[in-house]
Amino acid sequence: MQTRQIAILGAGAMGSLFGGRLAEAGHAVTLLDIDDAHLAAIREHGLRLSTDAGERVVRNLRARRPESAREPADLLIVFTKTLHTTAALEAARGALGPQTALLSLQNGLGNAERLVRFAAPGHVLVGVTTWPADKAEPGRVSSHGSGTIRLRGADGSHTPALAHTVEALNAAGLACTADPDVWAAIWEKAAFNAALNGLCAVTQCTVGELTNTPDGEALALKIAGETVAVARALGVDANAAHVAANVRHALAHHRAHRPSMLQDVLAGRRTEIEAINGAVVEAARKTGLSVPYTESLLHLVRLVDARPR
């Protein structure tokens, strides 16, 4: 395996998990973040990583602020929340060169569009991951259970950048495949998140508490269905039955889960609502579809986001 220079922009839960696993596989990884306590903990003690393979310390990581990045990376993976993508890339220009591949596995829609301003054509990669991660405290991240990654070139091209990225992620045991049909998976995940993240953020219910009245499940299924309808109107082959089954499964089996949007609200941070429900509403307008449940939920979460912190 060829050692690659990999920068992780946004080294919170997911970025630290990916950075740690890629460093363990022998790549030269730099974590770029603005959380000085997290960066300092990693510099002083290494990254404490807890997965099903056990708890260990990853020491061969560089950790610095985005504006101090000086060397162009072969691959830069963006793992900020979507609302911070553009500002983070502006600050991290030192890590971007003409050959840098830029990858987003962030949730929501519009990630490729945000990245294309910063990379050469054919160098933007976009996809979806089912790996989970949580940041316990500065310098410490956990991820339990397994996951996969599916990605493609944003413009559909099969570049060496795509092949090298798939190879690097697989060498780190992250189960990555190149999938030209990944748009369907991206929209299906957005449909799931538009329903459960948004509803939990507004109601402060856990996922299971959404079933305390029949209205919760009905609302979730309406919102997920609206998003799938928009995807299909755009020619994306998202599967309504598949998404509805995932929503019902989460309501039944992930009852104690607090989705990230609820965690953001409870921590006084702004949510990713614009890249999820906001992007669905915008796309619906272009297709002439009406998405009243998704749009109402967008406006409600915007009100929560607008509260003074």
* Cβ 268 to ligand NAD shortest distance, Å: 13
**CB 271, min distance to ligand NAD, A:** 10
Residue 95 within binding range of ligand NAD, rule CB under 6 A:
no
Within positions 229 to 288, which residues make up the interface with ligand NAD, using CB under 6 A?
260, 272
Query: Residues 236, 187: contact at Cβ < 8 Å?
Result: yes
Q: Percentages helix, strand, coil for the chain, rounded to the nearest 5?
A: 50, 15, 35
Catalytic residue flag (residue 135):
no
Residues in 20-59 that interact with ligand NAD by CB under 6 A: 32-35
Q: Which of 4, 6, 8, 15 forms a contact with ligand NAD (CB under 6 A)?
A: 15
The answer to whether the beta carbons of residues 152 and 179 sit under 8 Å apart is yes
Among 4, 6, 10, 168, binds ligand NAD (CB under 6 A): 10
Among the listed residues 6, 18, 79, 259, the single contact to ligand NAD using CB under 6 A? 79
Pair type for strands 134-137 and 140-143: antiparallel
Tokens of 10: 């946004």
Size of the site for ligand NAD (CB under 6 A): 28
15 vs 278 by CB, closer to ligand NAD: 15
What length is written for the chain?
309
289 φ, ψ to 5°? -90, 150
- 81, 135, 189, 222: which one is catalytic? 189
Beta bridge partners of 102: 76, 124
- The per-residue b/e assignment along 127-153, b for 16 or more CB within 10 angstroms, e otherwise, is bbbebebbbeeebbbbbeeeeebbbbb
Q: How far is the CB of 214 from ligand NAD (least distance, A)?
A: 29
Q: 99 to 138, contacts with ligand NAD by CB under 6 A?
A: 106-107, 129, 132-133, 135
Catalytic residue numbers? 189
